[in-house]
Structure 1
Amino acid sequence: MTTEHDQNTSDFTETPAHAGESAGHETAPGNPEETMQAATARIQELEAQVEEFRDKWMRSEADMQNLRARAKRDVDDARQYAVQKFARDVVEAAENLQRGVASLPAKVEGEDSLLTKLREGFEGTERSFLGILERNGISCNHPLGEPFDANHHQAMAEQPSDQHAPGTVMQAWTPTWTLHGRLLKPAMVVVAKGTPEADAAQASPESVPGQA
């Protein structure tokens, strides 16, 4: 016959076993393969995020460098070409001075000393003026004898010439003016073209090799 003391003792001895089973069920370790797969997937995800952030940073840095370079170029251009309108007015004065020097009579033996001094004074002033312009980035080029360049020359007329090849500047009324290499004012020029005789000779059958 089981007494109350025996029943309590039986309950006491069975309880730890049940508790152990319950605790073991809660703390049992997961599958190692699944844990490794999850960790690998997480690492790949983080690496992809790092690469994305790195790509965005590189693009942002490149944009900033381009912006700084463009801003510097704009500032340099503004500094160099801010006086462009003033420079055009200055070269007008230089051209008038050159016309004045060119209008003086050619030097001859025994000419009046006053005329000689006047010519030397004008020529010295012209050289000094052009030197000042050159030091400030304004240059002039006389294109006489050069091939016609629409980027630097403005053709005022076209005339036949035996002394100049077709397409050559045979006369320059004004020089080409530039400001730090940028066109400031094109030269006013007359361009040579072939003479009728030369055009006829070029078009004749005798001028074509292999024809009688």
Structure 2
Amino acid sequence: MFSENNIDENTLNQQALKDDVSRKEENKLTREESLSDENPDVSSCSLEQLVETLEAEKSELKDQVMRLAADMENLRRRTARDIADAKSYSIASFARDMLSISDNLARALSSLSEKSDDNHTGFKALVEGLEMTERAITVIFRRYGIEKIEAYGQQFNPHFHQAMFEVSDMSVPSNTIKEVVQVGYTIGDRVLRPAMVGVSKSKSQTPIVED
């Protein structure tokens, strides 16, 4: 009796276990079917399509990285150029104002030279002092990249010269600078002030004097 009861219990337990496994399998299949219904693209997407999609995304990301790198390099160059320009041209306004002082000093020296009196010690010392000051200004100008524009005897160049008047002179080519009214200067690659000049012309030449 005891043995038969044990056999029945074992049979019932085995049957219950089988039923439980069957239910779990059915639930698993049901979930998979549900996921398949909710995501039809996933179920239909082949491995080749997935690889193609990933390759396309990789190519797009690579292009974005390359464009970003190019933009950063352009920004670096532009920033370096702006810094260099700032260093070279930040004193342009101040230098332009200093030119008037240099002009006045040159005019004073020219006037004193015409009234030279070598026998007067004080007068001679004054001239020497002014000449030293002029040389010092020239040295300072050069230190900051400020240079005189060579004009006399050169061909007229509207980028560096401003024509104030014309002179008939057949002994030199047309548009040759015959007189410098005011010295011009450059700072770096830029014109700080054009040279004001008088130029030669032939009789048939069209006037180039600027308004």
**Counterparts in 2 of 1:128-167, with a 5 A limit?**
128-167=136-175
- Give the CA deviation at 1:113: 4.7
Quick check: 2:169–2:201 contact (8 Å CA) kept in 1? yes
Matches of 1:39 and 1:83, distance apart in 2: 67
Give the gaps of 5 or more residues in structure 1: 1-25, 27-36, 201-212
Matches of 2:60 and 2:105, distance apart in 1: 66
Q: Calculate percent identity across the aligned residue pairs.
A: 35
Quick check: 1:142–1:174 contact (8 Å CA) kept in 2? no
- Give the CA deviation at 1:122: 2.3
Q: Secondary structure of the residue that 1:173 maps to in structure 2?
A: strand
**Counterparts in 2 of 1:42-191, with a 5 A limit?**
42-105=50-113, 111-114=118-121, 115-191=123-199
Matches of 1:149 and 1:132, distance apart in 2: 27
Quick check: 2:167–2:200 contact (8 Å CA) kept in 1? yes
The amino acid of 2:56's aligned partner reads A
Q: What RMSD, in angstroms, separates the aligned Cα atoms of the two structures?
A: 3.0
* CA distance 1:120–1:162, change in 2 (3 Å): farther
- Give the CA deviation at 1:191: 1.0
Matches of 1:80 and 1:117, distance apart in 2: 36
- Give the CA deviation at 1:116: 4.0
Matches of 2:171 and 2:130, distance apart in 1: 32
The amino acid of 1:93's aligned partner reads I
Give per-residue Cα distances to partners, 1:75-99, cap 9 Å, x unaligned. 3322322221111011111111111
Matches of 2:144 and 2:58, distance apart in 1: 53
Query: TM-score, with normalisation over the residues of structure 1?
Result: 0.67
